[in-house]
Amino acid sequence: MKTACPAAAKPARGWLRAVREAIGLTQSVVAARIGVKRQSYAQLETAEERGSITIASMNRAAEAMGCELVYFIIPRDSVAGSYSELAQINDPVAAHLKATDQSMALKGPGAQEDVP
């Protein structure tokens, strides 16, 4: 899956494993810092790879590696280029409001609708 932010693209085997290997730590070292057995830590990496890890567990593992967990949700490039654009796509009222704004702009500043 292509992501709008290439730096946020999840590594194939997960962030925990990628970061741990990049900074040269073993599963045993990270497990000891968290206070669990190596097998339990290995299960965290596997859970992340499957997409079933909790945010709390990710945070504990990140802290044990001297990192900070940051998560966010961004619009897919194929859907919208910004949150504002995504809101307009998903809010049927937004299209009406945009049309009203354009209509009012055409009438000029200070123009008011005719009231019957």
Domains of the chain, with CATH numbers? 7-64 (1.10.260), 73-107 (no CATH)
Distance (Å) of CA 91 to CA 32, 76, 80, 96, 98:
49, 17, 13, 9, 11
- The predicted pLDDT at position 53 comes to 97
Q: What residue spans of 5-116 are helical by DSSP H?
A: 15-22, 27-34, 38-50, 55-64, 83-90, 92-107
For residue 60, name the pLDDT band (cuts at 50, 70, 90).
Answer: very high
pTM exceeds 0.75: no
Which tops the pLDDT comparison, 14 or 73?
14
CA 29 and chain centroid, separation: 28
pLDDT, average across residues 36-57? 97
Distance between CA atoms of residues 46 and 91, nearest Å: 38
Rounded to the nearest 5 degrees, what angle is found at the Cα of 83, between the Cα atoms of 69 and 4? Answer: 60
